[in-house]
Amino acid sequence: MDYAKLKAELVEIVEVSSQVPEEFRSQCFAMLFDRLLKESSGGTSKNNIKEDAENESENGSSNQGEAPLRTSGSFKAFMKRTKLEQKTLESVVMLEGNEVHFLVEPSHNKLAKGTLEWALLLALKNGLVAGTLSTDPETLRSVVQEKGFYDRPNFATGLKSEKYKEYFKGPLEYQGEARVLTPSGEQALAKLMQDLVTGSNK
């Protein structure tokens, strides 16, 4: 075991865990630390396999978010197309049954950029829960209001910008239907997730 590498990665785990909402911080740290130990030891112990299986039996899904990936071929295909690694996914979201909790979120103060990023992240959430990478414009409106990115005078106009046309199959319109990501949108989502993990999303 490379203890120097383990120590460096532990520092990174502490940093990532500190960025999530306080109520999920301990669970996030435990999940990432457990995974680090498994990777460092070259595999998963029999005890951990047994515990994971018991958790899956009791909760209907893995507490590390792996069950939806095993049951959604379309989401696994998305990961393969965009070369998205599972460790990146698990650093961005935590799954609890059908509930998706974001461990890292956009934290800048740019309204238009934040709205577009949440449009992509909502597609991620729907992809995990329902198997379709799609975003509903009214859900997006509610989320950006909650997260502080809502630009009321320009929200509807912003959804008609070239980025949305590039990233979604059809317009996101007021009280309109949900729209699925295009291949460009899928790539943008994968890049956003990577940027959130590395802290380069400023």
Q: What is the pLDDT of residues 103-140, one digit of tens each?
A: 999 999 999 999 999 999 999 999 998 889 999 999 99
Confidence band, pLDDT 50/70/90 cuts, at residue 46: very low
Long-range residue pairs from 143-152, CB within 8 A, at least 24 positions apart, any chain: 143/118, 144/114, 144/115, 144/118, 147/105, 147/106, 147/114, 147/118, 148/109, 148/114, 149/106, 149/111, 149/114, 149/115, 149/118, 150/111, 150/115, 151/111, 151/112, 151/115
Q: What is the pLDDT of residues 75-105, one digit of tens each?
A: 889 999 999 998 899 899 988 877 899 999 9
User: Does residue 22 lie in a domain region?
Assistant: no
Count CA atoms closer than 13 A to 44's CA, side-chain side. 10
User: Does residue 9 lie in a domain region?
Assistant: no
The answer to whether residues 176 and 132 touch, using CB atoms and an 8 Å cutoff, is: no
Average pLDDT over residues 54-62: 41
pTM of the predicted model, to two decimals? 0.67
How many whole angstroms separate alpha carbon 192 and alpha carbon 188?
A: 6
The total number of structural domains in the chain stands at: 1
Domain region containing 85: 68-198
User: Does residue 20 lie in a domain region?
Assistant: no
User: Does residue 3 lie in a domain region?
Assistant: no
User: Does residue 17 lie in a domain region?
Assistant: no
User: Does residue 10 lie in a domain region?
Assistant: no
Share of the chain above pLDDT 70, in %: 76
User: Does residue 133 lie in a domain region?
Assistant: yes
